[in-house]
Chains A and B, each alone.
Chain A
Amino acid sequence: MEKAIPIGKEPKNEPDISSIVPINRVTFADKIRSYLKKPFSFMIMLLVMLAALITVGSVAWVILHTFISGIPNLKPELFEWEYTPENLSMMPAIINTLFIAAVSLAIAVPIGVFAAIFMVEYAKSTNFLVKIVRMAAETLAGIPSIVYGIFGMLCFVYFFGWGESVLSGSLTMALMILPLVMRTTEEALKAVPDTFREGSYALGAGKLRTIFVIILPSAMSGIISGVILGLGRVVGETAALIFTAGSYSFVAGGFMEGGRTLAVHVYILASNGLYEDQAWAAAVVLILLVVVINGLAEFVGNKLKKEY
């Protein structure tokens, strides 16, 4: 597309083009005619539209069904501070979720960010160590959550003897979100232009100062959005937490005590079969939490992003 010339400022010597009709314009009728000539293309087009409809339809189906079954059951007693077999309150589970999420982020974020700094700022991409670390990160990202769960049980619960506790669960979850934090941080660091680094060095700053004062603040939006995505993963996780953080229905009082997270709470209620209403209500809260968290990540990633 050419830049539009503002009205009244056209150069006088150019011919008047307003009366010329472009011959390459495709109208709707043209499209129909072309599709009639090529029925196979038309069929493919229909299939593409159908696929998009199925996708949107399945999202709408899952979300709407959950909301319709859950929202009428969101009763105040489900948010009482104490869990009893009568009220089946999800409040302790929500608190445990936040507790475990905070601890696992506190462990995973420094390691993930520092590793990303090493990968982007210090090592060349052909470096042997970098290749191995990248392979390790890809492997970690691919391991199913149930394998993390078994590992957490064998290592933290039994080998270190911490039992089913917040600490065991958080360490397992930290391992799980490490690759996510590293990858998003790496991308954020790579997006910082090299002129920033060069300018900083030229002013006499050392490498460390450049990283912490210039690069990290510039990459902060990407890093934060990665961290929030990690938070979303922890909140939605079930399989890795059942065997590491346990399924106690009370608020975990410390690092060495166990407690169920909201996702585990939904699983226990759902597999019980008797508490369908409460399970749907908890599922609604869970979906809302995860969707809000992921939306926040996207918002932070887009809105706080600086254009260089």
Chain B
Amino acid sequence: MTETTITQNGEAVIRRNKKTDLKELLMKIVFIIAAVCFIAAVLIICLFIFMQAVPAIAEIGFFKFLFGTEWKPSDTNPKFGIATMIVGSCYVTAGALVLGVPVGFLTAVFMARYCPKPLYRVMKPVTNILAGIPSIVYGYFGLTVIVPLVRRTFGGSGSSILTASIILAIMILPTIISVSENAIRAVPKSYYEGAVALGATKERAIFCTEVPAAKSGIVTSIILGLGRVIGETMAVVMIAGNQPQFPSSITDGVRTMTANIVLELGYATDLHRGALIATAAVLFVFILLITMLIALVRRKAK
């Protein structure tokens, strides 16, 4: 009797183990599939974009597409050159970084090293709110506030590189602030204390010892901001003017690659649509380069 019970118990245990083994294996496969979904998603996105972009670029001609200065999606003798838009995207991005990076970086220093605790409890949610405002609201704010302001101050139509740069600079502030702040906070306190003990002022201690030590994090924050600006669509399309031209001053309007897509995708057909998808492909390549740049900075930091 006793023997049988033990055997029965033993059997029971073994049987249950087999069942759980199967369940464990099954769920492990499910988890792996979920992870592989990420790779599949990237591949499918690449596939769909490039499958339509490559024939269009081939038909237009690679150099004519990238370096062509005319964008005329007319029925007769259409011209699809996106050089003006690449330049437009670059100008707007550069403008936003020139305005946004110093303010964001210095605010990050303030948040990490100057801000008294009670004020910090207000400042942190404030920057988070800035991050949460949808880009369409920024765009509308730019259209109704910044555009008239620029028009009054500098003349012209108001929809310009400058306007877009101001709004985009505000939009990248939270990214730059939070990433840079974390980087500065991660620097060991002893750096600061050592510098102050050697007679440096607070500013010197922060900017000559802590900031260089947090360099990689700060650079990452700038590149993240860069990625956000280059990909920004809805705000830019409302305030940048959208003329496909080479600007001669910062109060001239430009059309960015993203704006080009949003403006014309709704009604484009055939080669015109192909050219717009190819514009997205160029944008995609830009973003891939930026992602790789971030990975490079992170690896170097380690």
Q: Are A and B interaction partners?
A: yes
Among the 9-residue stretches A77-85, A213-221, A235-243, A250-258, the one with 4 or more Cβ atoms under 8 Å from chain B is A235-243
Q: Are B132 and A56 in contact (CB under 8 A)?
A: no
Is the beta-carbon distance between B34 and A118 smaller than 8 angstroms? yes
What CA separation (Å) do A293 and B24 show in the bound complex? Answer: 36
* CB closest chain-A residue, reference B25: A208
Number of interface residues of B (CB under 8 A): 85
User: Known contacts A48-B110, A133-B38; is A266 also within 8 Å of B140 by CB?
Assistant: yes
Give chain A residues whose Cβ lies under 8 Å from the Cβ of B287.
Answer: 139, 142-144, 147
Q: A38-B201, A154-B52 are in contact. Are A66 and B137 (CB under 8 A)?
A: yes
Judged by a CB distance under 8 angstroms, whether B86 is at the interface is no
A234 to B41, CA, bound (A): 18
Complex interface: chain B residues within 8 A of A65 (CB): 141, 145
Most buried by A among B38, B107, B234: B38
**How far, in angstroms, from A132 to B290 measured CA to CA in the complex?**
17
Assess whether B162 is interfacial by the CB under 8 Å rule. Answer: no
Given A146-B258, A159-B48, A55 and B177 touching (CB < 8 A)? yes
With A52-B123, A133-B38, A140-B41 as known contacts, state yes or no: A62 contacts B28, CB within 8 Å. Answer: no
Q: Is the Cβ of B141 less than 8 Å from the Cβ of A62?
A: yes
* CA A263 to CA B234, docked complex, whole Å: 10
Beta-carbon contacts under 8 Å, A247-281 to B = 263, 266-267, 270-271, 276, 279-280
Distance (whole angstroms) from the CB of B36 to the closest CB of chain A? 7
The B interface, classified by DSSP as helix, strand, loop or mixed, is: helix
Q: How large is the interface on A (under 10, 10 to 19, 20 to 34, 35 or more residues)?
A: 35 or more
A208 vs B31: C-alpha distance in the bound complex, in angstroms? 11
Provide the residues of chain B in CB contact with A237, threshold 8 Å.
134
The docked-state distance in angstroms from the alpha carbon of A208 to that of B103 is 48
A236 touches B202 (CB 8 A): no
Say whether B227 faces chain A, with CB atoms less than 8 Å apart: yes
Minimal beta-carbon separation of B92 from chain A (angstroms): 13
Complex interface residues of chain A between 79 and 129 (CB less than 8 A to chain B): 110-115, 117-119, 121-123, 129
The answer, yes or no, to whether A138 is at the interface (CB within 8 Å) is yes
Task: Give chain A residues whose Cβ lies under 8 Å from the Cβ of B250.
Answer: none
**Contact, CB under 8 Å: A291 / B201:** no
Tell me if A227 is interfacial: C-beta within 8 Å of chain B: no
Given A52-B110, A65-B141, A243-B265, the answer on whether A147 and B280 have CB atoms closer than 8 Å is yes
Please indicate the chain A residues that have their CB under 8 angstroms from the CB of B20 in the complex: 206, 208
A–B complex contacts, Cβ < 8 Å, 29 sampled: A40-B203, A45-B202, A51-B102, A51-B107, A51-B110, A52-B111, A55-B173, A56-B126, A59-B129, A59-B130, A62-B170, A111-B34, A117-B34, A130-B35, A138-B295, A144-B232, A145-B231, A147-B280, A147-B287, A148-B45, A150-B49, A207-B24, A238-B136, A242-B266, A243-B265, A263-B136, A267-B234, A291-B129, A295-B125
Interface residues of B (CB under 8 A from A): 20, 23-24, 27-28, 30-39, 41-42, 44-45, 48-49, 52, 102-107, 109-111, 114-115, 123, 125-141, 143-145, 170, 173, 177, 201-204, 207, 227, 230-234, 238, 258, 261-262, 265-266, 276-277, 280, 283-284, 287-288, 290-291, 294-295
Listed from nearest, the 9 A-B pairs whose CB atoms lie closest are A144-B231, A51-B106, A236-B134, A114-B34, A118-B31, A41-B203, A41-B201, A52-B110, A115-B34
